[in-house]
Amino acid sequence: MFSDFKSVGIIGTGVIGSSWAAFYSIIGLDVKLYDLDGHLRRKGINRAINFIKGTKAGGLITDEEQEKAISRLNESVTLEETVKDVAIVQESVAENYPAKHSVFKIADAGSRPETIIMSSSSGLLMTEIQKVTQLPGRCLIAHPFNPPHLIPLVELVPGEQTDEKTLLHIKAFFEAAGKTPVVLRKEVPGHIANRLSAALWREAVDIVLKGVADVADVDKALRAGPGLRWALMGPHLTYHLGGGEGGIKHFMDHLGPAFETWLGDMAVWTRFPPESRNILYEGVKKEVEGKNEAELAKWRDEKLTELLKILYR
């Protein structure tokens, strides 16, 4: 299934990089993990191991598959060694162009010509990143949703110089690996899912700031209502079904005016209001009821695993 892709070099071993490492090792690739900071590198490897163990505990892989996946994780002490003789380079360093340029320049010079070099960037433009490379056709963004070892979505964003064959090749690879890749035909900051998330969050923040509801109830309204449907279908298909036999056309004809009334009353600010930081902090602090980030992430991953079994297995 993955005969063209036997190995991957992970650059940046934070939460995203280590989660990517778990994903790639579980599907059978040999993984080299690199971070400039040795402490973060070793911490990232341990985190990847824990992700793999969590995947096994959730019943998505067997004991044997867990042991094989862990055995495929390898520490790499230089960036040059990380990109040497691998099929894929997956970069997950700081979200700024200087950091990306530095990595892509070395990865481009030190890897085989057929190696595909991908960035996990959540909003930067590949056209700008690939400018520092000699072989820009093999470069693209493969933006995951956190945590990558569980969430199926991968946003594939080519730059102006990305080869279409490279794009189609990696898309087929992710599909075969059980991911759900989507392809952007035009670069925009934030890609697709983060732009949708940002627009929704702005309105959620605004509702809290206006005193309509508190943080916890806004979150409850989303997860107990639209969130359940969104796990199955996006907004277009949701509203298509809302239109009954007439579908989306009937929905827009009959409920479009009401939506326009709501839209006219919604937030349009492009900078977070100064008071939002403290208000959200206090609201989230109350909502989590003393649970720390590790406890919340563990609960999230366990529930995600159960959903994956229902929806994607």
And the tokens for 135?
């072989």
Q: Given a cut of 50, is residue 1 above it in pLDDT? A: no
In a domain, 210, yes or no: yes
Regarding whether 151 and 209 lie in a shared domain, the answer is no
Q: Given a cut of 50, is residue 155 above it in pLDDT? A: yes
Q: Given a cut of 60, is residue 206 above it in pLDDT? A: yes
Q: Given a cut of 60, is residue 202 above it in pLDDT? A: yes
With a pLDDT cut of 90, the percent of the chain lying above it is 94
Average pLDDT over every residue of 254-266: 93
H or E stretch including 155?
strand 153-158
Strands of 73-75's sheet in order across: 73-75, 30-34, 7-11, 88-91, 116-119, 139-144, 153-158, 180-183
Regarding whether 219 and 168 lie in a shared domain, the answer is no
Residue that is last in its domain, among 183, 209, 236: 183
Residue that is last in its domain, among 148, 183, 218: 183
pLDDT category, 107, cuts 50, 70, 90?
very high
pLDDT tens-place string over residues 285-297: 999 999 999 899 9
With a pLDDT cut of 70, the percent of the chain lying above it is 99
Regarding whether 283 and 218 lie in a shared domain, the answer is yes
Regarding whether 275 and 136 lie in a shared domain, the answer is no
Q: Given a cut of 80, is residue 2 above it in pLDDT? A: no
Average pLDDT, the chain: 94
Instruction: Work out whether the CA dihedral 17, 19, 22, 26 comes out positive or negative.
Output: negative
Q: Given a cut of 60, is residue 257 above it in pLDDT? A: yes
pLDDT reported for residue 313: 67
Regarding whether 249 and 179 lie in a shared domain, the answer is no
Number of domains in the chain: 2
* Nearest-angstrom CA–CA distance, 261 and 73: 54
Residue that is last in its domain, among 159, 183, 207: 183
Q: Which residue range forms the structural domain that includes residue 209?
A: 193-311
pLDDT reported for residue 215: 96
**CB atoms closer than 10 angstroms to residue 106:** 18
Cβ neighbours for 287, distance < 8 A, ≥ 6 positions apart: 215, 216, 219
pLDDT reported for residue 312: 82
In a domain, 107, yes or no: yes
Regarding whether 153 and 42 lie in a shared domain, the answer is yes
Regarding whether 105 and 53 lie in a shared domain, the answer is yes
pLDDT reported for residue 83: 97
Regarding whether 100 and 22 lie in a shared domain, the answer is yes
Regarding whether 218 and 91 lie in a shared domain, the answer is no
Q: Given a cut of 80, is residue 3 above it in pLDDT? A: no
Residue 251 sits in a domain whose CATH number is 1.10.1040.10
Residue 153 sits in a domain whose CATH number is 3.40.50.720
Average pLDDT over every residue of 6-10: 97
140, 146, 149, 155 alpha-carbon torsion, rounded to 10°:
-30
In a domain, 2, yes or no: no
pTM above 0.85, yes or no: yes
